[in-house]
Structure 1
Amino acid sequence: MSLYISPPFYGLASVDSKSLQFLAAARFCATELKVVHCRKNSDSPTGVIPSFVDGSEQITDFVEFVEHLRRQHSDIQLDSELSDKDKVLLEGFDALIKVGLLPALEQLFWIDDFNFSSLASRMIAKTTAWPYYFFYLNTKRAEARKIVERTGKKPEQLELDAIKTLNLLSAKLGNSKYFNGTRPSSLDALIFGYLAPLFKLPMANDRVQLQLKALPNLAVFLESISSIYCPVADEGLGAVKEYKNLVIEVEKAKKRVEKEKMEKRMREREKEQQESSNSTNIAVFIAFSLTATVLFGLHTGIIQIPKVIQDDDDE
């Protein structure tokens, strides 16, 4: 049995959310398989990453992979303690995240210019074979734009949706170690795959990331799965140096983000002041025009003020 996934990247067992979901689910039930890191789709027998291959059986869909693991008669069976109702929650939460969180993640990682230049492009350059790198980068960004455009929402609205979704996930997790109790399930693998890159990777435009890190139960949940089930091997001093350089570039981009936000606030303030000034000028102009019109009418006789004649009472 083999699992074909994207390569690791600075603290992540895989750079790809779907690959993380497959890997976590397999590790939860201690499935013995060979993990193959693919730098291009053609490295996988199916031409798709991630992929699970067991003889003639090939699986590229996460829900199908979960069903496969549930059927295995191993010592640790995935979702063995879950009721049918709990198992249905997997697809429900997947739909929730795809609507409330995924568009924001696509916007942040692939469309936001600051995150794209400082993080995403470097991430793909390190984990994708050349020259396939260029094709994948353009394809990924185009797919992200389609996902975001279908929502019809601005980046600020997507961020608010993402923050609300994170709060819902935090409320669902509560004080539990995992989303369905004390043992990790397919739902944990699903959520881990979506959230781990947002939690682990340094980002210049990091509003949603800050919200995730401010939710302590989700932070502990992600750190627990990363360290226990999806640890990353020590890549040596060279990798440490590369990561430091990445952080430096992200920090530079973060300063540019703050500068742009400040300039935007100044432009908005100037616009408000200009609109207020224009409103005042218009009011003054209208008052002046009315006064001038009345005075002109009085001077030319167009406007006449009738005299009031009082009759003297005879004594």
Structure 2
Amino acid sequence: MERGAPGTLYVFRGNYGLPSVDPKCLQLIFLLRIHAKHNIALKTCRFCTYPQLPYLNSNEKIYYTLQGITNAVHKMVLDGCDKTFSTLDKSRILAYKHLTHNVFSDTFDLHFWGYDRNNQHLIKQYGEGKHFPFRVIFARRMNRHVQRIVEDLTERDTLAEVLKVGNEAVDSYLEDLSKLLKDKKYLFGDKPSSLDALVCGYLAPIVILEFPNKILQNIVNNHKKIVKYVKMFLQEFGEEYEGVIPSEIPQKVESEKAPLGTVVIAGFIAVSVMVCYGLIHDIIKVN
């Protein structure tokens, strides 16, 4: 944990200018950058093979669920998010957030992981920066993890049937968001809300990353006003870096270097695994 920081948020690594390639991680990063009153340390796990990030280490407690992390973040920022909005707007923000999760969550997961080409492409993105053999172990665990996600979401219907309904709902909801946005900078005026963090967390990877299967990208790209809004949001809150997330984002912060002891241990494990692999497959022979 960074000195003076009340917590450390561990996320999947960023790429292509995104602070993370994962929608759930992005939602929290954007939330912190908009509302944080205290410094929060942001870290990527280069030696970790755990496929279920984000997680938050704060005040000697570890939060693994997205809801648990979000609740903890709200406590860190004292009065919570959106406190300057009117009571009516707070209610509308809450309703839109609930609807956003309902419309986006399952459909986006299926587009990410349900198509094999997207699946393999994204697992490489998620594992970017991990050192061998951690990258290989992570890919295997991530594959099993996303297979369970897809199986759970397509338990009763085929992938095509589920996505047909989901795609129509996403398209319709993006049209509703366009009407809410109108010509404003943010969804509720001239200042960002937790709804902006949530919506852009979902949409930023779709707008920025290049997917082999572009069905969802094409749906989103048809809504030009939303695409422009997401790109403008990223210019303000989407800088890619590791370090401490302050109330004001610095222009450039150097990535944290791994401690020497960690590098030595990782190197020893890597060499050991390679030697074992060579012995098992007769690449290395012992007389």
The alignment's TM-score, normalised by the length of structure 2, stands at: 0.68
Between stretches 26-35 and 141-150, larger displacement belongs to 141-150
Question: Which of 211, 214, 223 is equivalent to 1:203?
Answer: 211
Aligned match of 2:231: 223
For 1:11 and 1:65, the matched residues in 2 are separated by 27
Question: What residue in structure 1 maps to residue 100 of structure 2?
Answer: 97
Decide whether the 8 Å contact of 1:124 with 1:137 is kept in 2. no
Alpha-carbon distance in 2 for matches of 1:102, 1:64 = 19
- Aligned ranges for residues 1-315 of structure 1 at < 5 Å? 1=6, 2-30=8-36, 31-39=38-46, 49-56=53-60, 58-59=62-63, 60=65, 61=67, 62-65=69-72, 67-71=74-78, 78-117=81-120, 119-126=121-128, 129-130=134-135, 131-149=137-155, 153-232=161-240
Give the AA of the match of 1:51: Y
| Residue 125 to residue 6, structure 1, CA distance change in 2 (3 Å) | closer
* 8 A contact 1:21–1:192 mirrored in 2: yes
What is the CA deviation profile of residues 119-159 of structure 1, one whole-angstrom value per residue up to 9, with x for unaligned ones? 22322342664313211222123213312446773433322
Distance verdict in 2 for CA 1:145–1:196, change over 3 Å: farther
Shift, 1:63, TM fit: 4.0
Equivalent residues of 1:70, 1:80 under 8 A apart: no
Identity between Structure 1 and Structure 2 (%): 23
**Alignment correspondent of 2:245:** none
CA distance in structure 2 between the aligned counterparts of 1:58 and 1:98, rounded to whole angstroms: 24
Structure 1 counterpart of 2:179, one-letter code: A
SS at match of 1:71: coil
Question: For the aligned residues, what is the CA RMSD?
Answer: 2.8
Task: List alignment gaps of at least 5 residues for structure 2.
Answer: 1-5, 242-251, 253-287
Deviation track 1:49-88 (CA, whole Å, cap 9, x = no partner) reads 323333245545254145325425xxxx842311334334
Question: In structure 1, what is the Cα distance between the partners aligned to 2:86 and 2:52?
Answer: 32
C-alpha contact (below 8 Å) 1:6/1:15 kept by paired residues = yes
Give the equivalent residue in structure 1 for 2:261. none
Where do 5+ consecutive residues of structure 1 fail to align?
235-315
Residues 145, 12 of structure 1: alpha-carbon distance in 2 compared, 3 angstrom cutoff: farther
Deviation at 1:8, TM superposition (A): 0.8
Per residue, is there more helix in 1 or in 2?
1
CA contact (8 A) 2:114 2:150 kept: yes
* CA-to-aligned-CA distance 1:71-124 (integer Å, 9 cap, x gap): 25xxxx84231133433444433332333222221221101123224x223223
Q: Counterpart of 2:270?
A: none
Alpha-carbon distance between aligned partners in 1 of 2:219 and 2:56, rounded to the nearest angstrom: 34
Q: Is the 8 A contact 1:4 1:51 kept in 2?
A: yes
- Structure 2 CA distance for aligned equivalents of residues 16 and 127 of structure 1: 15
Count residues in correspondence.
Answer: 226
1:193-222 per-residue CA deviation (whole Å, 9 max, x = no partner) reads 111111111122223212322323212221
Aligned partner of 2:244 in structure 1 is none
State the partner residue of 2:274.
none
Does the 8 Å contact 2:127/2:138 carry over to 1? no
Counterparts of 2:209 and 2:40, CA distance in 1: 27
Deviation of the 1:184 alpha carbon: 0.9
> Would the alpha carbon gap of residues 151 and 199 (structure 1) be closer, same or farther in structure 2, given more than 3 Å must change?
farther
1:247 counterpart residue number: none
Moved more, 9-18 or 194-203: 9-18
